[in-house]
A and B are shown apart, each in its own frame.
Chain A
Amino acid sequence: MSTTGESEHTSTASGSADITASFLSSIANQPVNIKLHNDFVYTGVLSSIDGYMNVVLQNASEIVNGKTMKTYDEVFLRGNNVIYIGMAA
């Protein structure tokens, strides 16, 4: 799992600085919900992610206002649009 770019850690008070990186590696190949700033939610299997939160999902569905609008075999989401990446239930 590569964490590029933003993952340079200058030392701070936090004892949990690696938790975000380890969460990202723990959800690889798991079903996830990803919410973007346009309020679209994408649900799919996380095939790849980097330190910018750029994401590739497999078998993704696009959910708008709780309704599935489209499905994609494979989709790339640019990290700057991501609000959150959550484990799907």
Chain B
Amino acid sequence: MTDEQPVIEPPTAAESMTLPLELIDQCIGKRLRAFLRDQHVIEGTLVGFDDLVNLVLDDVVEVGSPVQSPPTKRMLLSSRTLTMLAPLE
């Protein structure tokens, strides 16, 4: 009887690859900053997004805005000028 070692296959390229939208999916429920093309920075808790990466955010504040306004309870942020998403915490 030969002692057979259980063979652990390394993940194939397809299995180990994280899709971009999966990465955003992992941020749902987390606080993040969305950087837009024209230097707007929007911070909020990610509720969800669609295929175009339009975002639904909760408790949103505009970072660095000269006009201070109370947080927006919930908003839809257009993906048209979205450049980067950075999770906080």
Q: Which residues of A contact B (CB under 8 A)?
A: 6-7, 9-10, 12-21, 23-24, 33, 37, 53, 65-66, 79-80, 82-87, 89
6 cross-chain CB contacts under 8 A: A9-B50, A14-B51, A16-B50, A19-B47, A19-B49, A85-B76
Are B25's CB and A13's CB within 8 A? Answer: yes
Q: Which of A9, A14, A17, A21 has the most CB of B within 10 A?
A: A14
B22 contacts across to A, CB distance below 8 A? 13
Complex contacts, A89 vs chain B, CB 8 Å: 70, 72-73
Say if the beta carbon of B52 comes within 8 Å of chain A.
Answer: yes
Number of A-B contacts (CB under 8 A): 89
Which partner residue on chain B sits nearest A89 by CB separation? Answer: B70
- Chain B count of residues within 8 A CB distance of the other chain: 33
Chain B residues in contact with chain A, CB under 8 A?
Answer: 19, 21-22, 24-25, 28, 36, 38, 40, 42, 47-52, 54-56, 60, 66-67, 69-70, 72-78, 80-81
A33-B72, A65-B67, A86-B72 known; A15 and B25 CB under 8 Å?
yes
What's the Cα separation between A15 and B40 when bound, in Å? 28
Q: Are B75 and A80 in contact (CB under 8 A)?
A: no
Smallest CB-CB A-B distances: 7 pairs? A19-B48, A16-B48, A86-B75, A86-B72, A66-B67, A20-B50, A13-B22
Give the contacting residue for A87; candidates B25, B38, B54, B75; CB below 8 A.
Answer: B75
Not counting A17-B49, A84-B78, a sample of 5 additional A-B residue pairs whose C-beta atoms are within 8 angstroms of each other reads A13-B21, A19-B47, A84-B76, A84-B77, A86-B73
Nearest CB of B to A57, in Å: 15
Bound Cα distance from A66 to B65, whole angstroms: 11
Task: Assess the B25–A14 pair: CB atoms within 8 A.
Answer: yes
